[in-house]
Amino acid sequence: MITRSAKALAGVAAAAVAVGVAQLVAATFGPQADVRTAVGSAVIELTPGPVKEWAIQLFGTADKLVLTVLVLMVIAGIAAIAGVAESARRPVGSALIVAAGALGCAAVLSRAGTTVLDLVPTVIGAACGVAVLRLLISERFRDDDEPAEGVDRGRRRSLVTLGFLAGGALGGVAGVVLTRLTSSVSGDRQAFVVPRVAVPAKPIPASVQPEGVALPSFITSNSDFYRIDTALAVPQLSREDWQLRIHGLVDREITYRFPDLDRFEVVETVVTLTCVSNPVGGDLISNATWTGYRVADLLAEAGVRPDADMVLSMSVDGWTAGTPVEALTAADALLAVGMNGEPLPVVHGYPARLVVPGLYGYVSATKWVTDLELTRFDRAEAYWTRLGWSARGPIKTQSRIDVPRSGQDVPAGPVRFGGVAWAQKRGVRAVEVRIDDGEWRPATLGAAYSGDTWRLWSFDWDATESGLHTIAVRATDNTGYTQTSELADPVPDGATGWHTITFAVT
């Protein structure tokens, strides 16, 4: 008699083999056949918008790792149920594995660019999983016709089960590694030289960075630049395979290949990008120097029709963003190919992405962009707008305290606090700070670079009274608008409120 725990472990081992084999075989087909990523992406697609926002707020840039772990845990749980339900005469668990394989096939087919052939790894994996489950559950399971005297058949089954479990896990890891090695565009990126700039950005003066306080660098390094997107597996798109199709409400449809970009003027600009999921005081904001081509120049060759008011941009993995036409026909909207003097990092959109000042990323910052459809807001919806977010996402005037951190101890005496403020397209005119319930006092601003970038600030205070204190900050943009104290969640068009923290003077 096989115990329930042994059956459950057999189910998990069968699932491990199924996923591991599918992952390993998929390495010979390409990343589009990866059922693990396909299932995870389908989960992301089907998850309600508020739940996605909750995950981003809670886990930040670790949201994809958490999702992967959760998917594997769910698979293990279902597999354990399948193992318990399986018997020699009633293959209920095997039927569950087959059903899971069918769902995996559906997830694979739902991804952009997949074909029926990409189902082969999933089908093979499911078949192997069924075979392993049937073997481990069978009462006839043994190494020889009859076990030797004193040999514990249950113990032997447990050891073989663990062997299948380990083998499936190793196969899965090997498949992931092989897929990354065979599909990686790191070599293509290393061979790419950022084109020579014809219109450089103006020099950044040292005075943009306040002295005497540990604030973020005015230019964020590529490695520190925030990343929020829906790509569970980072798309690997080479320059040779890249193309940009412009169609819809245009005079003529155009498809650009990478060499076609050489005839356009290369522009360099410094732009701060902000995620709409950034909470009050959050760090989903970064500033970089971008190199690329004016989107307006590319659109001009296609000829934008007067009735078009939205550009629906699409990533190679099917993600979409809806951007007002006027934002992309402005001179500062770029098809970027370089970031801080280097080719775009793969996680930030290599080989090409959109950079549009003044708009939250969910309506503008399409990475791995391959398609621009000229359309109208009353005819099309993008990924996040279908989930309840605002169709247009202008960045709001906001500010943040970086020094001191919440709960930090501050030594008595003169101290210098600081942070950042932003109001892209408008620029920051002033920043004010309030300690406890005192009056608002002006902070000292670093030099203003442009309306498209954040502005760093500092504030000197004499910490004479020990104990707990609060500090709040607010910014005023160049239109004269002072950010509101009214607290609002990021949904549907960005958070509002004053960033306020508590610290202690010791």
pLDDT digits (tens, 9 = 90+) for 400-429: 999 999 999 999 999 999 999 999 999 999
What's the confidence (pLDDT) of residue 150?
47
Q: H or E element: which one contains 315?
A: strand 310-315
CA distance 500 to 399: 10
Q: Looking at this protein, which amino acid is placed at residue 204?
A: I
Is the confidence at residue 243, as pLDDT, over 70? Answer: yes
Opening angle at CA 389, ends 385 and 392, nearest 5 = 75
Selected residue with higher pLDDT from 499 and 151: 499
Per mean pLDDT, which range of 108-117, 217-226, 413-422, 477-486 is the poorest? Answer: 108-117
Secondary structure string (H, E, C) spanning 153-184:
HHHHHHHHHHHHHHHHHHHHHHHHHHHHHHHC
What's the confidence (pLDDT) of residue 55?
78
Mean pLDDT along residues 45-74: 78
How do 243-248 and 369-375 pair as beta strands?
parallel
Secondary structure string (H, E, C) spanning 33-47:
HCHHHHHHHHHHHHC
What's the confidence (pLDDT) of residue 154?
66
Per CATH, the number for 206-387 is 3.90.420.10
Is the confidence at residue 196, as pLDDT, over 90? Answer: yes
CA distance 412 to 462: 8
What's the confidence (pLDDT) of residue 145?
44
pLDDT digits (tens, 9 = 90+) for 302-353: 999 999 999 999 999 999 999 999 999 999 999 999 999 999 999 999 999 9
Is the confidence at residue 32, as pLDDT, over 90? Answer: no
Selected residue with higher pLDDT from 152 and 469: 469
Q: Indicate the pLDDT class of residue 71, thresholds 50, 70 and 90.
A: confident
Instruction: Reduce the DSSP state of residue 10 to 3 states and report it.
Output: helix
Domain with CATH 3.90.420.10 in the chain: 206-387
Is the confidence at residue 143, as pLDDT, over 70? Answer: no
Check: CB of residue 386 under 8 Å from CB of residue 323.
Answer: no
Is the confidence at residue 22, as pLDDT, over 80? Answer: yes
Is the confidence at residue 47, as pLDDT, over 90? Answer: no
Q: What are phi and psi of 56, to 5 degrees?
A: -65, -45
CA distance 494 to 393: 8
What's the confidence (pLDDT) of residue 142?
46
Query: Taking the CA of residue 430 as centre, how many other CA atoms within 13 Å lie in the half-sphere pointing to its CB?
Result: 11
Domain with CATH 2.60.40.650 in the chain: 398-505
Check: CB of residue 304 under 8 Å from CB of residue 247.
Answer: no
What's the confidence (pLDDT) of residue 50?
77
CA distance 153 to 427: 74
Q: Which residues contact 465 (CB under 8 A, 6 or more apart)?
A: 505
* The two structure tokens encoding residue 430: 């002033």
Check: CB of residue 293 under 8 Å from CB of residue 87.
Answer: no
The whole-chain average pLDDT of the chain stands at 92
Mean pLDDT along residues 196-214: 97
Q: What is the DSSP letter of 453?
A: S
Q: Could you tell me which residues are beta bridge partners of residue 414?
A: 462
Q: Which residues contact 223 (CB under 8 A, 6 or more apart)?
A: none
Selected residue with higher pLDDT from 295 and 138: 295
CA distance 23 to 28: 9
Report the top-level CATH class of 398-505.
mainly beta
Check: CB of residue 342 under 8 Å from CB of residue 194.
Answer: yes
